[in-house]
């Protein structure tokens, strides 16, 4: 198979957005409660792929355990929605304070560009966050397509965002591949008719284990993804391999 398009998730795959997300939610919770307790980044890491509601719920749960006296016994849904709105507004205004591409990701993208292999971004991050961040990371003019969580009629794990990306890039889904760090990424890829690679450096949930998600490949590093994909760049006749020392093919 000759690849036409490589699609990436954003948070936890291309970019390490956790520091800014954690800072924003901690700041909003501290403003609301007056507490100096801070939720550690690693406690939020497994829920980043689940969206803003999951981030707020997890952070609020941890914050209440850290300083129970700072919070009322019950918190209404309206209060939670208000916290979420404050979190998103603050995050949008500070979207790239500490966010950076993951180590080796620039080299991965440079190698894809050099090989003439087009790539794009498909994320559940709303476009009002995704587009500014992609531009500030210097990727906006390089990628073939960007699909946010509100671009298609349904977000992942529905296949619509991936299929829309293929249409934008004029690429066949069967000649495309998706790299992500969540079970829903694998589900979306397969529903769209393309193979999936698990980015094991990302924000993987505690369970289920990545090996059980059904992806065709697991990659430990971005450069392992490059080794895996470049055998399938335009003009290559390579068969599916194991992608080098740090990428494994699922049996």
Q: How confident is the model at residue 36 (pLDDT cuts 50, 70, 90)?
A: confident
Q: What percent of the chain has pLDDT over 90?
A: 86
pLDDT in tens, 78-123: 999 999 999 999 999 999 999 999 999 999 999 999 999 999 999 9
pLDDT tens digits, one per residue of 171-224: 999 999 999 999 999 999 999 999 999 999 999 998 899 999 999 999 999 999
Q: How confident is the model at residue 26 (pLDDT cuts 50, 70, 90)?
A: very high
Catalytic residues: 9
Q: What is the Cα–Cα distance from 43 to 46, expressed in whole angstroms?
A: 7
pLDDT one-digit tens code per residue, 133-153 = 999 999 999 999 999 999 999
CATH T-level topology, domain 5-16+99-249: Rossmann fold (3.40.50)
Measured distance CA(2)–CA(99) in Å, rounded: 33
Using pLDDT thresholds of 50, 70 and 90, give the confidence band for residue 247.
low
Is 7 within 8 Å of 178 (Cβ atoms)? yes
């Amino acid at each position: 198979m000759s690849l036409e398009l490589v699609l990436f998730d954003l948070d936890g795959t291309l970019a390490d957005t956790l520091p800014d997300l954690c800072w924003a939610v901690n700041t909003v919770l501290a403003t609301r409660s007056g507490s100096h307790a801070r939720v550690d980044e690693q406690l939020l890491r497994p829920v980043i792929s689940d969206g803003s509601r999951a981030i707020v719920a997890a952070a609020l749960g941890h914050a209440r355990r850290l300083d129970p006296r700072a919070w009322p016994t019950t918190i209404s849904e309206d209060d939670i929605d208000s916290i979420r709105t404050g979190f998103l507004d603050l995050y949008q205004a500070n979207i790239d304070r500490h966010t950076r591409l993951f180590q080796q990701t620039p080299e991965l993208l440079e190698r894809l560009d050099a090989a003439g292999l087009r790539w794009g971004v498909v994320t559940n991050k709303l476009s009002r966050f995704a587009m500014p961040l992609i531009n500030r990371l210097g990727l906006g003019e390089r990628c073939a397509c960007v699909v946010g969580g509100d671009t298609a009629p349904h977000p992942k794990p529905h296949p619509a965002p991936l299929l829309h990306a293929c249409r934008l890039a004029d690429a066949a889904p069967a000649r495309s591949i998706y790299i992500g760090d969540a079970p829903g990424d694998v589900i979306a890829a397969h529903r769209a008719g393309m193979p999936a690679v698990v980015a094991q450096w990302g924000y993987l949930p505690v369970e289920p284990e990545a090996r059980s998600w059904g992806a065709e490949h697991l990659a430990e590093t971005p450069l392992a993804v490059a080794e895996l994909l470049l055998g399938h760049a335009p003009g290559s006749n390579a068969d599916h391999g194991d992608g080098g020392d740090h990428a494994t093919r699922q049996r």
